[in-house]
Amino acid sequence: MKTLINGTFYSMKDTEIKSKLMISDQGVILSKSDNTKNEIIDMKGKFVYPAFIDSHIHLMGYGQSLSRLTVKGLNKKKDILKFVADNLNNDFIYVEGYKPCDISKNDLNELSSIAAIYLRHEDYHGMTVNDVALDKINLISNNGILLEDEASLALASVPRPKQEELENFLRKAYKKLFSYGIVGGHSDDLFYFNGYKNTMDAFTKISCEIPFYAHLLIHNKVLNDHLKLKENYFKSKYIEEGGVKMFYDGTLGSKTALMKKPYYSDYYGIRILNREQITKILNKAREERMSVAIHVIGDKALEETISFLQEFPPGQDNIDRIIHACFANDEEIHNLKSKSIFLDIQPQFFNSDKKILNFIKDMPKYIYPIKTFDKNNIDFALSSDAPVEDPNPIFGIYDALFRENKDESLDRFTAIKSYTTSAWKLSKLLGGYLEPGYPANLVVLNRDLFHEPKENFRKIKVLSTWVEGNKVYTT
């Protein structure tokens, strides 16, 4: 066994602090010594919490973004075009992190009439391409700016990464996430790469190498493959089957989020799925005793999604989740309150979306109402949606604590719990507390999340990350 001493240990069951932590050789937290050889580890006055979990992330997508060209941070048209020109080759170029700023296919056509150019929008719901790329998918577009289904079509024509690359994406992602104190992620990846089988093969192979808890949502477009092949997978405790993922509406950045009040004249945003399609998916999911996880941004989308989930309730022990839930009014809060729907919230969106919010004339009553959700006992966890946002939980917790709108800021205990404990409710495994019987998944920080003032909060550093009693990251 190991005994960690001289640290501040937050169990997160309540605000009580423990002065030491005993861990068995099997990596489980003990209530008393188990009489095996005891290794004493001095934590040197540092701060220990249950390790972080990101409740909505794209693990493979994040690993890919760490490996791919990106224009994240470039805001000027001429800088972005220069970046593309500098990295161009004869075949194709795929660049991520593009914040749409007036680039059209003509600008890209000027750069190349041989190579296909793909600029993936930073919200991952759009793509700006040149004529070579349009020709590959036989699509006509005046400006080359593609959204939602058209963007997916273009994405499908980008040359695919090899199997070893998929595996490397996961290695890179897990390694980086360990350095942020994250030991698990609830991820949506199975539709976007080389098909369900190859993607699952990569997750399975890497689960034998790296002890990272991947809870995998099953995108509705690969649900049939999943049902056919799932027997071969999900054998490792590090890979868990999640709910059926679907998109109810689009995004704010693309003005495709479905709102109750119009963006302009009579345009309200879009529904990605029609009633018939969504009914079919929900029926299938329920038949298979699966929960669902639905992407919802706009308040109208939230209203309609709640009513769908009421019409097709999950079976016993299943918890449906709504991802994002950015806008609400009193009636949605009321309707959520009475149901056991779990929300996946991204605190970093509060700031990223600030500029975009300007074009909504008539705002819903609540914008990212995390405190209102909390007050009404609506369950939620915090997350990054990486690669959309930086997955560093310190940034997420900061944005949840120190909002401009103080009425919707969380208290420290709730914010920390929402990044360490809450998401475990959706897992069949135990986790999220530093309590006897729980796996010793820990993050050790140089400063105290409960007391560090706002000015220095974002500088808090992870010193080590532990999975089941073993260090997986150390500075």
In angstroms, what is the minimal distance from the CB of 105 to Zn ion? 27
Pick the closer one to Zn ion by CB: 295 or 300.
295
In angstroms, what is the minimal distance from the CB of 96 to Zn ion? 14
In angstroms, what is the minimal distance from the CB of 38 to Zn ion? 44
Distance CA 78, CA 365 (A): 39
In angstroms, what is the minimal distance from the CB of 384 to Zn ion? 9
**In this chain, which residue has its C-beta nearest to Zn ion?**
385
Please, what is the angle between helix 299-311 and helix 330-337, to 10°? 30
Of residues 237-296, those binding Zn ion (CB under 5 A): none
Pick the closer one to Zn ion by CB: 148 or 385.
385
Pick the closer one to Zn ion by CB: 62 or 433.
62
Stretch (H or E) spanning 212: none
Specify whether the backbone of 457 is left (phi greater than 0), alpha (psi in -120 to 50) or beta: alpha
Of residues 359-388, those binding Zn ion (CB under 5 A): 385
Amino acid at 76: K
Site string for Zn ion, 417-436 (x = CB under 5 A): --------------------
Pick the closer one to Zn ion by CB: 225 or 385.
385
Pick the closer one to Zn ion by CB: 249 or 385.
385
Q: Are 422 and 379 in contact (CB under 8 A)?
A: yes
Q: Within 13 Å of residue 364, how many CA atoms lie on the same side as its CB? A: 25
Residue 189 interacts with Zn ion (CB under 5 A): yes or no? no
Pick the closer one to Zn ion by CB: 168 or 187.
187
Per-residue CA distances from 316 to 163, 280, 319, 320, 329 (Å) = 38, 20, 8, 11, 28
Q: Which of 466, 475, 460, 344 is nearest to 412 (CA)?
A: 460
Site string for Zn ion, 41-80 (x = CB under 5 A): ----------------------------------------
Pick the closer one to Zn ion by CB: 60 or 333.
60
In angstroms, what is the minimal distance from the CB of 42 to Zn ion? 41
In angstroms, what is the minimal distance from the CB of 251 to Zn ion? 10
Query: What one-character-per-residue DSSP string does 380-431 give?
Result: EEE--TTTTS---HHHHHHHHHS-SSGGGPPPHHHHHHHHHTGGGGGSSS--
Distance CA 320, CA 335 (A): 14
Distance CA 122, CA 252 (A): 12
Amino acid at 175: K
In angstroms, what is the minimal distance from the CB of 445 to Zn ion? 27
Residue 123 interacts with Zn ion (CB under 5 A): yes or no? no
Pick the closer one to Zn ion by CB: 54 or 452.
54
Please list the alpha-helical segments (H only) found in 68-214: 77-87, 105-111, 131-136, 148-157, 163-179, 195-209
Pick the closer one to Zn ion by CB: 249 or 452.
249
CB atoms within 10 A of CB 32: 7
387 preceded by a cis bond (ω within 30 of 0): yes
Residues ≥6 apart with Cβ < 8 Å to 301: 248, 249, 257, 258, 269, 271
In angstroms, what is the minimal distance from the CB of 400 to Zn ion? 18
Pick the closer one to Zn ion by CB: 47 or 349.
349
- Each residue of 161-198: b (16+ CB within 10 Å) or e? beeeebbbbbbbbbebbbbbbbbbbbbbbbbbbeebbb
Distance CA 446, CA 68 (A): 32
The number of residues that bind Zn ion (CB under 5 A) is 1
In angstroms, what is the minimal distance from the CB of 61 to Zn ion? 8
Q: Which of 348, 257, 245 is nearest to 303 (CA)?
A: 257
Of residues 384-413, those binding Zn ion (CB under 5 A): 385
In angstroms, what is the minimal distance from the CB of 124 to Zn ion? 7
Pick the closer one to Zn ion by CB: 299 or 385.
385
In angstroms, what is the minimal distance from the CB of 17 to Zn ion? 35
Please, what is the angle between helix 393-401 and helix 412-420, to 10°? 150
Distance CA 30, CA 396 (A): 31
In angstroms, what is the minimal distance from the CB of 475 to Zn ion? 29
Pick the closer one to Zn ion by CB: 130 or 251.
251
Distance CA 103, CA 233 (A): 43
Note the residues at the interface with Zn ion (CB under 5 A): 385
